[in-house]
Amino acid sequence: AQSVTQPDIHITVSEGASLELRCNYSYGATPYLFWYVQSPGQGLQLLLKYFSGDTLVQGIKGFEAEFKRSQSSFNLRKPSVHWSDAAEYFCAVGAGNTPLVFGKGTRLSVIA
């Protein structure tokens, strides 16, 4: 069965520092991969997606993610974090005509 693991429940970074959020997946077929962000009291917003092609994908708000098939990973990165990036981040995987499977999320705190 497909699954998504986000190993870090909570991460704290300093404003201006780089960020990497980890995501590992288990899926039988070539997956579609997504990162979503949820600000407090809001719904989930799509940050970026990978379907095929270039394994480094760019998203909104300066985020990028790299698909590594050999490691079954799709880690999210940002070179310089802003205080407004504090939120919950969800990795998701899917393929074909089935619903996405979401990880349990990583909460990001940003300190001055």
Partner 1 sequence: DAGVIQSPRHEVTEMGQEVTLRCKPISGHNSLFWYRQTMMRGLELLIYFNNNVPIDDSGMPEDRFSAKMPNASFSTLKIQPSEPRDSAVYFCASSLEGAQEQYFGPGTRLTVT
The residues that touch partner 1, with contacts defined as CB under 8 A, are 32, 34, 36, 42-46, 49, 90, 94-100, 102, 104-105
Smallest gap from residue 27 Cβ to partner 1 (A): 11
Smallest gap from residue 18 Cβ to partner 1 (A): 26
Residues 6+ apart with CB under 8 A from 72: 24, 25, 26, 27
Residue number with CB closer to partner 1 (38 or 72): 38
Would strands 106-111 and 10-14 be described as parallel, antiparallel, or unpaired?
parallel
| DSSP element (H, E) containing 2 | none
Residue number with CB closer to partner 1 (51 or 83): 51
Smallest gap from residue 46 Cβ to partner 1 (A): 5
Smallest gap from residue 69 Cβ to partner 1 (A): 18
Residue number with CB closer to partner 1 (6 or 78): 6
Residues 6+ apart with CB under 8 A from 21: 6, 8, 11, 35, 75, 76, 77, 89, 91, 106, 108
